[in-house]
Structure 1
Amino acid sequence: MAARLRPADPTDVAAAMARVAADEADRADLRLLVKHFLAVLEDRAPGHSVEVRIPPYAAVQVIPGVRHTRGTPPAVVEMDAGTWVALASGALTWADADGTGRVRASGERADLTAYLPLT
């Protein structure tokens, strides 16, 4: 079983979010925020029926349901880091991200509306 991600220090998250807001974020900021928000999602929606992928930073399995153990999960959500941070922070809605093609989601339970934003 893969190790669970851990939320980042709140001070580090606030600083990285400030750089995102100022359009000054770098890869380290995005990596920190992606992993932080995925860890929060893991805590709020424990389970293994949906795999959320934010390449190249991390992926987690969340949401109760049928446990996934091998191959492609029954539900997959994938997006870039900027989209994930915007969704998790409430700067972007799931409907807007999905409607503009910024999110690729397939399978049952692949709609994360009920879990977002995470802040």
Structure 2
Amino acid sequence: MGSVRRFAAGERLTEAERRTAVRFSLEEFAIRHPGRSVEIRVPWVGAVQAIEGPTHTRGTPPNVVEMDAQTWLKLVVGQPTAGIVKASGSRSDLRQLLPLFGAAQLGL
């Protein structure tokens, strides 16, 4: 959570800190929104399956959301972003579930 807080405060993170912040926030997203109907991917960093609904078991899931690390972190802390979010499938709209952390959790 410390790296996420530092990112939200505008501090520059090292690559290792950014990976830690992304992995932590992906895991937190999966805990808060359990399920296996949507796969959220941040290439080269991590991925989780979350959100209740039809369970995916093999191959490429029908509901996928993918973006880079910077875009994911901005979304989870509620910052505006011009990053590209690739989303496919009827359950891939995460707008109702983000931001993941509020000002109180971020110490802002």
Interval containing the TM-score (normalised by the shorter chain): 0.7 to 0.9
How many equivalent residue pairs? 101
2:27 & 2:57 partners in 1: Cα distance?
A: 20
CA distance in 2, matches of 1:85, 1:12: 10
Residues 49 and 61, structure 1, Cα contact 8 Å, conserved in 2: yes
* Percent pairwise identity: 47
Q: Give the deviation of 1:11 after TM superposition.
A: 3.6
CA RMSD of aligned residues (A): 1.7
Superposed displacement of residue 16, structure 1:
4.9
Q: Whole-Å Cα distance in 1 between the matches of residues 90 and 69 of structure 2?
A: 23
**Structure 2: which 5+ runs fail to align?**
102-108
Q: Does 1:40 align with 2:33?
A: no
Change in 2 beyond 3 A, CA 1:84/1:44: same
Report the TM-score, using the length of structure 1 for normalisation.
Answer: 0.77
Query: Cα offset for 1:13?
Result: 3.7
Q: Aligned-pair distance for 1:82?
A: 0.1
What pairs up with 1:11-22 in 2 under 5 angstroms?
11-18=2-9, 21-22=10-11
Matched position secondary structure for 2:62: coil
How many angstroms does 1:115 deviate by? 0.8
Q: Counterparts of 1:63 and 1:53 in 2: how far apart (Å)? A: 14
Q: What SS class does the counterpart of residue 114 from structure 1 fall into? A: helix
1:112 partner amino acid: L
Query: Paired residue for 1:81?
Result: 69
The 2-side partners of 1:76 and 1:69 are apart by: 13
